[in-house]
Amino acid sequence: MWNYSEKVMDHFLHPRNVGEIEDPDGFGEVGSLACGDALRLTFKLDESKRIKEVKFKTFGCASAIASSSALTELIKGKTLEEAEKITNKDIADYLGGLPEAKTHCSVMGREALIEAIKNYRSGKGKAQGEKKVIEGEVVCKCFGVTEKEILEAIRTNDLHTVEQVTNYTKAGGACGSCHPRIRELIKKVELEEAAKERQGKHMTNLQKIGLIQSVIEGDIRPALLKDRGDIELVDIDGNTVYVRLKGACSSCIAAQYTMKGFVEQTLKEKVSPEIKVEEVK
């Protein structure tokens, strides 16, 4: 039995703004019945472009219903710019908290809102059965969760384990074959955060070398391997990094762009803006 707050139970037993607006200004739909959760959100704007009316329909558990109800209350009267700043954490906080294993319900509510806002701005209007456009690599095929969605959840909610990612996105909650990729994404964000902390701070040579190696192994190599390329760290001299392109990258006509536009730029962003990359044949 989940330990729900009184506010969660109130919004579950007495949900606000249930239904669907005819001829809405914005229409968003996320999830699927096959995955166990689905949410449709519609809204209407007033003359000043504020959300005048919003309604939802959802198929899901108590947390899904309560989160959807809470979201509609939070965005009423707001501009679209104000509404899209609301995070899943704001929804959970409004409800007095959610069980950790149910936090994906608040994420789903925010995703439906973002889709509805995109729909309004695209000028397409409502389309029955319109589905969320998949953006980027699908990491969890069981639940259709993309790399972009997982990275956003990790960054927004400071997640550090596969279990936490599953709680927030459902990714990895079925067959588990995507767990290694989820771990890679967690590591990627941790490296980004470590690099931000070091920006503007003095690093010892050993710290700099270690960070360069981590970024090459954690960010650069996986991206090149996807296109049958590879990279080898040859040497580091001060702020100059010497590398050798391998595989398909070694004979690619875009090798110079890969070297400067991707490898060097990634190291500048994650290690130091003073980094320069040189290719060793």
Residue 243 and residue 233: Cα distance in Å, rounded? 5
In angstroms, rounded to a whole number, what is the distance separating the alpha carbons of residues 102 and 98? 6
In degrees rounded to 5, what are phi and psi of residue 44? -130, 140
Instruction: Please confirm, yes or no, whether 175 is among the known catalytic residues.
Output: no
Burial status of residue 101 (CB atoms within 10 A of its CB: 0-12, 13-18, 19 or more)? middle
Q: Are 136 and 171 in contact (CB under 8 A)?
A: no
Tell me which residue of 17, 23, 15 sits closest to 119, measured CA to CA: 23
Evaluate whether 80 touches 115 at the Cβ level (below 8 Å). Answer: no
Indicate if the alpha-carbon torsion angle 252, 216, 264, 237 is positive or negative: negative
> Measured between alpha carbons, how far is 94 from 99 in angstroms, rounded to an integer?
14
Question: What is the Cα–Cα distance from 243 to 138, expressed in whole angstroms?
Answer: 31
Residue 61 appears among annotated catalytic residues: no
| Active-site residue, selected from the candidate residues 105, 140, 178, 249 | 105
- Tell me how far apart the alpha carbons of residues 258 and 249 are, in angstroms, rounded to a whole number: 8
Q: How far apart are CA 33 and CA 39, in angstroms?
A: 9
Which amino acids are annotated catalytic? 35, 105
